[in-house]
């Protein structure tokens, strides 16, 4: 990468040596996992470029936006309403949480048996290797699970600009009122940060922008129903991951371009894999860049992933926000309605999630479900067994996997995944 | 420890007779309500004519059954509670007509989804933070919702008069417990931590509140006499330890036992079994529902974020009890206490120069040797 970035990273306070090491690992992983795939849509070239510049050009763009007076807000979760952020011309970015880094230092602050995702966020911060975190004007934490909720108390001492949002745990009228009150409080905080007052026009514009991004992903998801599958699960996951980083308008265009290409493939009855390839639905915890371990194992074991029931996937993107309202109140209410539907396992009970998994199995003609739980993520691990039982009662083969970000269990996982694929063939 | 107050036998008897008492209650048609957590307001349950009982979750035995349904990486308390329920091996669970659960931690919250398939369960929704009017209002609504539920289940209308009466009785119990623990603030110490745990835990399964309160009165009297005579369960040099963290009880007292076997004296137990559960009184004037909500919401559980209340309480207790060392017990995979331990350690070291030993363990006895070595080394440092 060019010297320009070096000075930018230095100015952001990154540890250059550690950051170089990270980029090297990331680059190699990308090469081995992504570029080694065959028969990829040409449009994925854009995403390859995004990934190669994920700490370079994209950060430079954000720095340019900051120089022009716009703000950058970092988030860890799909409950942070992007509509509100975009309404102030600010940018919402997902923060780095997909790889182990500086674990020794992290475990001085957090218990060893905390999930990889939380530990990763701390590792990137402590090692000073996440330019997104460093360039954020505000970092938003959200009280979802126990691990995150309590970790933010400690993160608060590490970063100068943490804003914590409360979330309900029950989908009751009181729960919704709590979410609404929190979104109004967040709106005020964003207005204060940006100096921009959100009116109906601004919120409508922000909502449309985010909806367009979601619609492009919906179009991509719909094309994955085709058999043979026109795109690998890894590539589709990448699009879902880049959703959190990229400029929304450019992202929308790029996903649509890939979709045009996929439509042509489907027309010609072509696929990325042969028609008989077993089709897998992944369900469970989110997979942030560069956490590609399990999809990589699945797709190199002879199956293709046709959907992700995940925050980085359909759970995060499936619902649009109603943008038909004309007053600020109506539009805010629509934002609350939309996010209150997210069927995260922190809610009790959470029956919509199971319904959605079944619906996805049917929609994408999946032959089996692989439930992906991050070790020590209690909400998803607790749902895993009931989900497995319910799916098997419907004769949907299910494999439950609990893992973390390390590569130590790759051999073991591969054996289990291969056996599962063999079974559903 | 040679010295043992003879009135401890009152509590042993309460425990032994407890099942019989509940059987009698059941025969008389009185409803029994199973509780899992100190956030459930007992005065409200009693005011409905029902009897609250703390349910078992302190034993290793039903864990393997629980693990057929629950993840292994879950705290033993949740697994034990659930295991007792599905194996039908806890008499109190059997006696319970219905249960009250709370959305404290992720593990319990999700476990209750499965438990309610076995028995009717009323789930109280806790706000994630105890600060501010919004949280209080939210919690007041939950208390009122529970009142409605209790009235429906018991067929008894809860009157303000009866509720205020129960508040008074429960406050009296709390005042007595506070009086008893305050006898341990300095040498001579008239009761061991292990016996104190039994005394405190007994409040959970005494069918008649009056019997329990009477026993407390007898004990308080005896302990004062012991103290006046200058007798003590420990030597003047024994390091005074505060035990904090996850709840303990008979069957899961191994850390407390080890501290005292190794020569320390646990003079103060801040956990849910201990002072956290009776430190605050319910305001006896004003609207009883709001007073109850306000008191219970201030319980400084690690499920709250931030949890400044626990820091404040610990600061007060280490001063009052002239504490030399703090042992913070985390049950394996209890995220909230586990993460909070870092903040507690930092606070105690910075503000009081008091060392903290953080122990993460489960109900099994496999790590006893290792724990003993760590506890001995910790106590050695305090002499």
- Closest chain B residue by Cα to residue A385: B69
- Put simply, the answer to whether A376 touches B125 (Cβ < 8 Å) is no
Band (A300; pLDDT cuts 50, 70, 90): very high
Band (B346; pLDDT cuts 50, 70, 90): very high
A158 within domain boundaries: yes
- Token pair listed for B170: 């429960």
Which tens digits make up the pLDDT trace of A40-95? Answer: 999 999 999 999 999 999 999 999 999 999 999 999 999 999 999 999 999 999 99
A331 within domain boundaries: no
pLDDT value, residue B43: 98
Q: Is B281 on the interface with A (CB under 8 A)?
A: no
Same domain, A57 and A77: yes
Strand, coil or helix: A110: coil
What CATH number is given to the structural domain containing A314?
3.40.50.11900
Hey, CA dihedral for A12, A14, A16, A21, is it positive or negative? negative
Same domain, A81 and A109: yes
A89 Ramachandran zone, left/alpha/beta (phi>0; psi -120 to 50):
left
A307 contacts A313 by C-beta, under 8 angstroms: yes
What CATH number is given to the structural domain containing A103?
3.40.50.11890
- Put simply, the answer to whether A178 touches B338 (Cβ < 8 Å) is no
pLDDT over 70 percentage in chain A: 99
- Put simply, the answer to whether A170 touches B343 (Cβ < 8 Å) is no
A72 within domain boundaries: yes
Using a CB-CB distance cutoff of 8 angstroms, which residues of chain B are in contact with residue A149?
128, 305, 336
DSSP state of B282: P
Instruction: Give Cβ neighbours of residue B353 (< 8 Å, ≥ 6 apart).
Output: none
B160 contacts B168 by C-beta, under 8 angstroms: no
A340 within domain boundaries: no
A333 within domain boundaries: no
Mean pLDDT check: name the lowest of A299-313, A323-337, B1-15, B228-242: B1-15
Give, in order, the Cα–Cα distances in Å from A387 to each of A297, A362, B110: 22, 16, 13
Q: Measure CA B247 to chain center.
A: 6
> Residue length, chain B?
383
Q: Is A196 on the interface with B (CB under 8 A)?
A: no
* Residue where one domain finishes, among candidates A194, A225, A250: A194
Across residues A233-254, what is the average pLDDT? 97
Band (B383; pLDDT cuts 50, 70, 90): confident
A335 within domain boundaries: no
Give, in order, the Cα–Cα distances in Å from A194 to each of A137, A187, A191, A247: 10, 11, 5, 18
Domain count, chain A: 2
How large is the ipTM? 0.90
* Residue where one domain finishes, among candidates A143, A165, A194: A194
H/E run at residue A367: none
Give, in order, the Cα–Cα distances in Å from B25 to each of B187, B206, B208, B236: 42, 12, 10, 46
The whole-angstrom separation of Cα A136 and Cα A70 is 11
Same domain, A209 and A311: yes
* Residue where one domain finishes, among candidates A194, A223, A242: A194
- Closest chain A residue by Cα to residue B344: A154
Which tens digits make up the pLDDT trace of B62-92? Answer: 999 999 999 999 999 999 999 999 999 999 9
Helix A44-52 to helix A16-30 angle (10° resolution) is 160
Same domain, A233 and A270: yes
DSSP state of B350: I
C-alpha distance from A153 to closest chain B C-alpha (Å) = 7
Same domain, A100 and A235: no
Closest CA to A294 of A284, B136, A206: A284
A339 within domain boundaries: no
pLDDT value, residue B254: 97
Same domain, A283 and A349: yes
- Put simply, the answer to whether B74 touches A382 (Cβ < 8 Å) is yes
- Put simply, the answer to whether A149 touches B305 (Cβ < 8 Å) is yes
C-alpha distance from A16 to closest chain B C-alpha (Å) = 29
- Token pair listed for B318: 């280490």
Q: Is A386 on the interface with B (CB under 8 A)?
A: yes
Exposure string over A175-184, b if 16+ CB within 10 A, otherwise e = bbbbbbebbe
Across residues A178-189, what is the average pLDDT? 97
Band (A4; pLDDT cuts 50, 70, 90): confident
Q: Is the pLDDT of residue B95 over 70?
A: yes
Mean of the per-residue pLDDT values of chain A? 96
A408 within domain boundaries: yes
pLDDT value, residue B2: 66
Same domain, A158 and A246: no
Same domain, A181 and A236: no
Using a CB-CB distance cutoff of 8 angstroms, which residues of chain B are in contact with residue A175?
125
Give, in order, the Cα–Cα distances in Å from B307 to each of A16, A160, A364: 37, 20, 45
Same domain, A113 and A174: yes
Structural domains of chain B in order of their starting residue, each with its CATH number: 18-158 (3.40.50.11890)
The whole-angstrom separation of Cα A239 and Cα A113 is 30
pTM for the model stands at: 0.94
Same domain, A100 and A213: no
What is the span of the domain harbouring residue A298? 205-320+345-424
Using a CB-CB distance cutoff of 8 angstroms, which residues of chain B are in contact with residue A376?
73, 333, 335
The whole-angstrom separation of Cα B348 and Cα B334 is 21
The whole-angstrom separation of Cα B324 and Cα B265 is 10
pLDDT value, residue A3: 60
Same domain, A117 and A253: no
Same domain, A168 and A272: no
Test mutation, B142, B330, B335, B350, chain A, max A CBs within 10 A: B335
């Amino acid at each position: 990468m060019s010297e320009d970035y070096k000075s930018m990273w230095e100015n952001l306070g990154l540890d250059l040596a550690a950051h170089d090491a990270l980029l090297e690992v990331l680059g190699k992983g990308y090469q081995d996992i992504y570029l080694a795939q065959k028969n990829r849509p040409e449009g994925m070239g854009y995403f390859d470029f995004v990934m190669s510049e994920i700490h370079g050009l994209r950060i430079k763009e954000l720095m340019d936006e900051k120089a022009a007076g716009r703000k950058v807000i970092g988030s860890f979760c799909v409950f942070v309403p992007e509509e509100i952020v975009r309404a102030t011309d600010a940018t919402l970015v997902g923060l780095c949480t997909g790889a182990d880094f500086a674990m020794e230092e992290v475990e001085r602050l957090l218990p060893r048996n905390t999930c990889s995702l939380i530990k990763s966020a701390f590792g990137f911060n402590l090692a000073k290797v996440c330019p997104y975190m460093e360039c954020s004007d505000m970092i938003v934490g959200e009280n979802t699970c126990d691990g995150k909720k309590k970790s933010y108390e400690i993160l608060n001492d590490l970063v100068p600009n943490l804003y914590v949002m409360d979330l309900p745990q029950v989908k009751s009228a009181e729960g919704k009122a709590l979410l609404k009150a929190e979104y109004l409080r967040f709106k005020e905080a964003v207005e204060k940060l940006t100096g921009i007052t959100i009116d109906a026009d601004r919120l409508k514009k922000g909502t449309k922008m985010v909806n367009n991004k979601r619609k492009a992903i919906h179009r991509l998801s719909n094309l994955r129903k085709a058999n043979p599958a026109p795109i690998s699960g890894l590539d589709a996951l990448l699009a879902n991951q880049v959703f959190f980083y990229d400029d929304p308008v450019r992202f929308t265009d790029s996903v649509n371009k890939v979709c045009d290409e996929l439509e042509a493939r489907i027309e010609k009855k072509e696929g990325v894999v042969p028609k008989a390839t077993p089709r897998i639905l992944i369900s469970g915890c989110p997979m942030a860049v560069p956490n590609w371990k399990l999809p990589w194992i699945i797709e190199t074991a002879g199956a293709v992933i046709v959907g992700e029931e995940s925050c980085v996937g359909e759970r995060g993107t499936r619902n649009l926000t109603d943008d038909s309202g004309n007053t600020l109140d109506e539009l805010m209410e629509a934002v609350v309605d939309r996010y209150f539907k997210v069927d995260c396992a922190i809610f009790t009970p959470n029956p919509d999630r199971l319904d959605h998994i079944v619906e996805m199995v049917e929609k994408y003609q999946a032959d089996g479900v692989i439930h992906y739980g991050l070790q020590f993520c209690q909400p998803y691990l607790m749902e895993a067994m009931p989900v497995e039982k319910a799916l098997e009662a419907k004769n949907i083969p299910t494999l439950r996997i609990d893992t973390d970000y390390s590569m130590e269990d790759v051999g073991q996982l591969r054996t289990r995944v291969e056996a599962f694929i063999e079974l559903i063939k | 420890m040679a010295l043992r107050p003879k009135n401890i036998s009152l509590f042993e008897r309460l425990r032994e007779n407890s099942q019989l008492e509940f059987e009698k209650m059941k025969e008389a048609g009185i409803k029994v309500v199973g509780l899992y957590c100190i956030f459930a307001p007992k005065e409200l349950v009693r005011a409905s004519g029902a009897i609250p009982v703390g349910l078992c979750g302190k034993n290793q035995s039903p864990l393997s059954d629980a693990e057929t349904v629950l993840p292994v990486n879950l705290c033993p308390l949740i697994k034990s509670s659930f295991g007792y329920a599905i194996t039908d091996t806890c008499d109190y669970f059997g006696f319970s007509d219905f249960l009250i659960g709370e959305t404290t931690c992720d593990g319990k919250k999700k476990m209750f989804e499965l438990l309610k398939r076995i028995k009717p369960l009323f789930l109280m929704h806790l706000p994630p933070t105890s600060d501010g009017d919004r949280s209080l209002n939210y919690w007041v609504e939950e208390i009122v919702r529970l009142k409605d539920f209790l009235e429906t289940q018991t067929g008894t209308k809860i009157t303000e008069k009866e509720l205020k009466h129960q508040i008074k009785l429960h406050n009296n119990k709390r005042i007595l417990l506070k009086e008893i623990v305050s006898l341990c603030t300095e040498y001579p110490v008239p009761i061991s931590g292990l016996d104190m745990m039994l005394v405190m835990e007994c409040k959970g399964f005494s069918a008649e509140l009056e019997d329990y309160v009477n026993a407390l009165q007898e004990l308080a009297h005896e302990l004062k006499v012991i103290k006046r005579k200058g007798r003590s369960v420990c030597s003047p040099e024994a390091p005074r330890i505060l035990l904090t963290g996850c709840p303990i009880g008979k069957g899961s007292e191994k850390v407390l036992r080890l501290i005292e076997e190794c020569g320390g004296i646990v003079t103060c137990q801040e956990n849910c079994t201990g002072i956290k559960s009776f430190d605050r009184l319910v305001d006896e004037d004003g609207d009883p529902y709001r007073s109850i909500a306000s008191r219970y919401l201030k319980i400084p559980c690690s499920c709250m974020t931030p949890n400044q209340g626990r820091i404040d309480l610990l600061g007060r207790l280490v001063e009052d009890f002239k504490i030399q060392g703090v042992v913070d017990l985390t049950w394996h995979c209890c995220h909230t206490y586990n993460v909070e331990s870092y903040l507690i350690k930092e606070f105690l070291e910075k503000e009081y120069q008091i060392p903290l030993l953080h122990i993460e363990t489960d109900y099994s006895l496999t790590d006893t040797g290792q724990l003993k070595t760590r506890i001995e080394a910790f106590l050695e440092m305090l002499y």
